[in-house]
Amino acid sequence: MPREVREVVFVDGVRTPFGKAGGMYAETRADDLVIRCIRELMRRNPQLPPEMVDEVAIAATTQIGDQGLTIGRTAALLSGLPKTVPGYAIDRMCAGAMTAVTNVAGGIAMGAYDVAIAGGVEHMGRHPMGEGVDPNPRILAEKLVDPSALVMGSTAENLHDRLPGITKERADRYGLNSQIKTAKAYADGKLQPDLVPVAIRSAEQGWGLATADEAPRETSMEKLATLKTPFRPHGRVTAGNAAGLNDGATAALLASEETARELGLPVAMRMVSYGFVGVEPEVMGYGPIPSTEKALKKAGLTIDDIGLFELNEAFAVQVLAFLDHYGIADDDPRVNPWGGAIAIGHPLASSGVRLMTQLARHFAEHPEVRYGLTAMCVGIGMGGTVIWENPLWEAK
């Protein structure tokens, strides 16, 4: 029988402060980070009966140890949700949480779910990217990909090669501006409302409380110019124009718009369309360009319709390639207004929901903007984009 496709809305999103790999969360379990996020979502939205959560989809890139054992289900149980609430794990590397959101959104749209939780976690201090993997030797032996495709920093250097107009100095300046914008966002109290404090412990130092991201730092163009280029002698990718290795978790509440309004849940954003694509793995940073083209086409929109952008800063060159393709200035105020992953951090599978949570807050401050997008490059040669509509626009 024919079914009516339902509107899917982003209700709320939270995250832990992001730590440096092996930093403040060195003795904290990965699953406890995402459990803390799920509990905070339920605390912030008491009008949602816990038994109404239909699914919990949690992403992790390295599904091993405390990030394994079908983490969506175990995190749901440990967070106190009823045992009737199912859950599962998902992996699309950096776009894990983004894919968790689009997966449950599909279920909501067709009526399988009314409410779902989607998020991601990565503890890169405990589980470095690639831990325990065994790539099929045919991938390289049959030249399906260049060997550099398996080293994300090398793929960024490859993208620099293909786009010589994106110089190291330009990438450094973009990285510096990310730090400046994040520092201002903290000073203005923009980021703190969606950070979930996390109790942390150290065998040597005792107990503490994580309340802010660990990665942001003060720097300058002069300091950035002195940093090593670890992926290539005399290269262009450094720790100053790329995201670091990080630990952290995110979670978001998604619902059908009808259900959200019946329960009195906030409607922060309405999903419009999304697109995932594959690109040459050795230049995976190019991925957000065709994924955005795909999402725009499905939505019947153009890039000129987009008023706010949250782009994951895995590497400055990846964001700059996107901006150049669409004719957007490096310092366009619509792009990452509060900085991005170069300053905040990029705990792989969790980052997609951070982008969405920040876009939702931008929408609340800018009712004149109708559409925004979240986009990111993805390891092994992919890109992902989700386009959102601001519900405040129609009421202005």
Which residues are the active-site residues?
94, 346, 377
What is the rounded CA–CA span in Å between residue 176 and residue 174? 5
What is the rounded CA–CA span in Å between residue 55 and residue 127? 26
Burial 211-224 (b: 16+ CB within 10 A, else e): eebbbbeebeeeeb
What is the rounded CA–CA span in Å between residue 349 and residue 174? 23
Between strands 269-278 and 306-311, the pairing is unpaired
Q: Which of 359, 262, 259 is CA-nearest to residue 306?
A: 359
Q: Is the dihedral of CA 251, 122, 36, 218 positive or negative?
A: negative
Q: Which of 323, 31, 380, 326 is CA-nearest to residue 177?
A: 323
Contact between 170 and 330 (Cβ < 8 Å): yes
